[in-house]
Structure 1
Amino acid sequence: MGEQAIEFIRLESAQAIAEETARRMSAAARRAIRARGRFLCVLAGGRTPLAAYSRLVDQPEDWAHWHLFLGDERCLPPDDPERNSRAIELALTERVAIPPDNLHWIPAESGAESAAGRYDALIADHMPFDLILLGMGEDGHTASLFPGHVTPTDVLASPVHEAPKPPPDRVTLTPLAFASAPERLILVTGAGKRKALAAWRRGADLPVARIAALGRTDVLMDSDAAGD
């Protein structure tokens, strides 16, 4: 699909992006449940995605048919506040009636290799996804796909070692998995992301650019990240 499938959408603030993300998640869920009886969504960690999830708590969603997955996870104990799964539990899943069996977290506490193998098998049984949410780091990484790291092309989930930000051991979905959805939504907020966002828009070969180019992708960026 390529570049023409990527749309950069500027909103004024991170709050506006959180509100628009929540609206889009709700709409995607309704479409998927109406069409197939379930909504399969890959979630990102980070401040703005978590703010979006919190905005869904009081919405009349058909929670029994939501299935949630993760784009990446840190190899830390399950109750560590730095785990994406734990942050999402606090923001959303402990506050709404999503069945526990519908929460498909990465078992990263078992180690990167073991967890990646188990998650690869799990998501293979559930794909394709309906919506994939991602963020972007100041170096242009997304999920735990970092610049300079080689990512396998023949698996859905991969171990990550020596990540440039702590903790060094992680598990990430791969481009093969991120391609398995009709749409991707990438959230970019804050002035710290401005340089990488500008480089991406100029054509730099960044991990986030490679994932966005897999198919239909909307990039929600706030004014601080977009700059002038």
Structure 2
Amino acid sequence: MKQTTYTDAKVLNQQFSKRIAGLLQEGIDNHGQASLIVSGGRTPQGLFACLSEAELDWSKVVVSLADERWVPATDDASNEKMVREHLLKGKAARAQFVGLKNAATEAQQGVADCVANLREIPQPFDVLILGMGEDGHTASLFPCSKQIGQGLDMDYPRPYLAVQPATAPNWRMSLSLAALLNSKHIFLHLTGDAKRAVLDKALAGEDEFEMPIRAVLKRAEVELVWAP
């Protein structure tokens, strides 16, 4: 695993946003369009704010999510709400956004529409930015969920699955492991010593069901982007 360490989160946000913009520009230059798959939470908010001001033809960029809570897009728990507030503004307001939450009442019923909408996103994904929870989950591939076997199954037939974590609220929609790995550039974006300690634990073990981030690290070239 390649590692890029920055002195602090501010420098990380400034430099990493430039790196992402460059990769998206490369995708536009080569294919006329580029795709950016992002994760939710608080960690990427500053990064998104920097990225939203990147000099880029954002009308040729498609943004989507690695996972989403099955809540309305107006809910504070919604990853879509966070992305719209912090990334899809300024210059990046012109980007196309493909959300995961749809009109289905239950997440299980919403999988088919998510799969259908995937055709709007250029693949393989140009840039995938993953986070990681303290339990070693990434996207919504939770070790505590009954669906973790499906999510980590490289032969699982659908790119999305509905997930119910036992240790977190809300049903989720998540890209499967195989779908996540269908990316040209995969970054693991972490800040703080606590998350670094979780990553060190993940790197020291083998059980993917205990810490699903291991499944990504084992099968793909992942670059860690980290600041204390």
Q: Number of paired residues?
A: 216
Q: In the alignment, is residue 161 of structure 1 matched against residue 135 of structure 2?
A: no
- Write out per-residue CA displacement over residues 2-50 of structure 1, whole angstroms, 9 at most, x where no aligned residue: xxxx213322222233223211210111100000001111011122212
3-state SS of paired residue (2:202): helix
Q: 1:211-222 counterparts in 2 under 5 A?
A: 211-222=216-227
In structure 2, stretches of 5+ residues that fail to align are: 151-155
For the Cα contact (< 8 Å) 1:183–1:215, is it kept in 2?
A: no
- Write out per-residue CA displacement over residues 95-141 of structure 1, whole angstroms, 9 at most, x where no aligned residue: 335447x2101025632112222112221553221110110111111
2:131 is aligned to: 135
Q: 1-side partners of 2:20 and 2:74: how far apart?
A: 26
- TM-score normalised to the size of structure 1? 0.86
Q: Deviation above 6 Å: which 4+ runs of structure 1?
A: none
1:209 is aligned, of 185, 210, 214, to: 214
For the Cα contact (< 8 Å) 1:155–1:176, is it kept in 2?
A: no
Q: 1-side partners of 2:149 and 2:113: how far apart?
A: 17
- The change in CA–CA distance for 1:162 and 1:209 in structure 2 (over 3 A counts) is closer
1:226 is aligned to: none
Q: Match for 1:201: what amino acid?
A: L
Shift of 1:204: 4.1
- The change in CA–CA distance for 1:57 and 1:97 in structure 2 (over 3 A counts) is closer
- TM-score normalised to the size of structure 2? 0.86
Shift of 1:145: 0.7
Q: 1:92-111 counterparts in 2 under 5 A?
A: 92-96=87-91, 98-99=93-94, 102-108=96-102, 110=104, 111=106
Q: 1-side partners of 2:61 and 2:166: how far apart?
A: 31
2:153 is aligned to: none
- Write out per-residue CA displacement over residues 187-228 of structure 1, whole angstroms, 9 at most, x where no aligned residue: 1112332431121121343211212333221011223xxxxx
**What value does the CA root-mean-square deviation take over the aligned residues?**
1.9
- Write out per-residue CA displacement over residues 57-82 of structure 1, whole angstroms, 9 at most, x where no aligned residue: 33221111010010000011111121
